[in-house]
Amino acid sequence: MNYSLFITGSPTASRACHTALDFAEALLSDGAHQIHGVFFYEEAVAIANALAMPPRDECNIRNEWVAFAKQHGVPLYICIAAALRRGELNEAEAKRHEVANHNLAEGFLLEGLGSLISLTSESDRMMRFK
């Protein structure tokens, strides 16, 4: 079965990002399923802020998602509108908005809601974590 994940909960104020990663790992463990992509929206876009540093004794959920994505070839999409609203920019958006720096972590892609619609139409199931 083909899945896509839609995450809206904050990586620091909720367990949404952690629960979604646990679900994704379990889903792919038997090889019977695949994940077309993960779309982070609303407060969940904070996961892609390269400048956010969790305490050393806590799980770095950003790094965990990036490692998962690399291992399984799953794209990690960040809603561009939600990211810009929260001051998260990739290099291209920083140039476009004439901002000196960018802070989108490597491994994440800024995309519009059209990508969420594509994920939904390509998948048998869309799972939301909030």
Give tens-digit pLDDT for 8-42: 999 999 999 999 999 999 999 989 999 999 999 99
pLDDT by residue (tens digit) across 51-88? 999 999 999 999 999 999 999 999 999 999 999 999 99
- What is the pLDDT, as a whole number, of residue 103? 97
Distance in angstroms (rounded) separating the CA atoms of residues 20 and 7: 7
What residues contact residue 21 under an 8 Å CB cut-off, 6+ apart?
A: 61, 64, 65, 68
Q: Which residues contact 84 (CB under 8 A, 6 or more apart)?
A: 93, 97
pLDDT value at position 93?
Answer: 96
Task: Decide if 30 contacts 60 (C-beta within 8 A).
Answer: no
Per-residue pLDDT at 128: 98
Q: Which residues pair with 49 in a beta bridge?
A: 104
pLDDT, position 118: 96
Residue 49, pLDDT score: 98
Whether 59 sits among the annotated catalytic residues: the reply is: no
3 state SS for 2-24: EEEEEECCCCCCCCHHHHHHHHH
- Model confidence band, residue 91 (pLDDT cutoffs 50, 70, 90): very high
- What pLDDT is attached to residue 79? 98
3-class SS string, 40-79: ECHHHHHHHECCCCCCCCCCCHHHHHHHHHHHHCCCEEEE
Q: What pLDDT sits at residue 89?
A: 97
The whole-model pTM stands at 0.96
State residue 69's pLDDT score.
98
pLDDT at 12: 94
Q: What integer pLDDT is reported at residue 45 of this predicted model?
A: 98
Active-site residue among 79, 80, 82, 110?
79
Amino acid found at 39 = F
Supply angle C-alpha 31, 32, 35, rounded to 5: 80
